[in-house]
Amino acid sequence: MPQVVCRKSAGLDDWYVIELAEHSGAQGLVPTGPGVLSFYSAARISDADVEGTGGEMLAVADAIEQRRSVNFRRCAATLAGESYELESPRNSTRPGKISLDEADALARSIRDVVVATAVEPRP
């Protein structure tokens, strides 16, 4: 099963993505049906970006640490026996699966990244 990490979005202040720690970097458009193209990224744990705000990512970390599931529009972590399924409920057609140990490491990664890159709210 793949190791995953939380990464800060380069273009948005309070936006994070869960991705594979190691990947080829490949990306591009791939045909998925007659006249239909979808964006592919080798970094994805699912077939869509698993992404959300810092608050949502921290809620994912909390859920993993408490061995429960959590679901938002663009990120979900579902406890599935001895593993977690990660997906974007809005966009995924298949979840990515990680072990409980990898989920625990992801929770630590989320806390480290979100705390280190948190942006103070504007008045």
Q: Which domain holds residue 83?
A: 4-117
CA dist 24 and 37 (Å) reads 21
Q: Is 123 part of any domain? A: no
What pLDDT is attached to residue 7? 92
The pLDDT tens digits of the residues spanning 18-33 come to 998 887 777 777 777 7
H or E element at residue 41: strand 36-41
Q: Is 25 part of any domain? A: yes
Q: Is 18 part of any domain? A: yes
Going from the C-alpha of 2 to that of each of 37, 89, 105, the distances in angstroms are: 26, 20, 12
Query: Given a cut of 50, is residue 40 above it in pLDDT?
Result: yes
Q: Is 20 part of any domain? A: yes
Q: Is 122 part of any domain? A: no
Burial of 118 (0-12, 13-18, 19+ CB in 10 A): middle
Q: 91 Cβ partners below 8 Å, 6+ apart?
A: 48, 49, 74
pTM equals 0.85
Q: Is 95 part of any domain? A: yes
Q: How does the average pLDDT of the chain come out, rounded?
A: 87
Q: Is 53 part of any domain? A: yes
The pLDDT tens digits of the residues spanning 86-122 come to 999 998 888 999 999 999 999 999 999 998 887 655 5
Give me the number of domains the chain comprises. 1
Query: Given a cut of 50, is residue 1 above it in pLDDT?
Result: no
What pLDDT is attached to residue 123? 54
Which is more confident, 44 or 1?
44
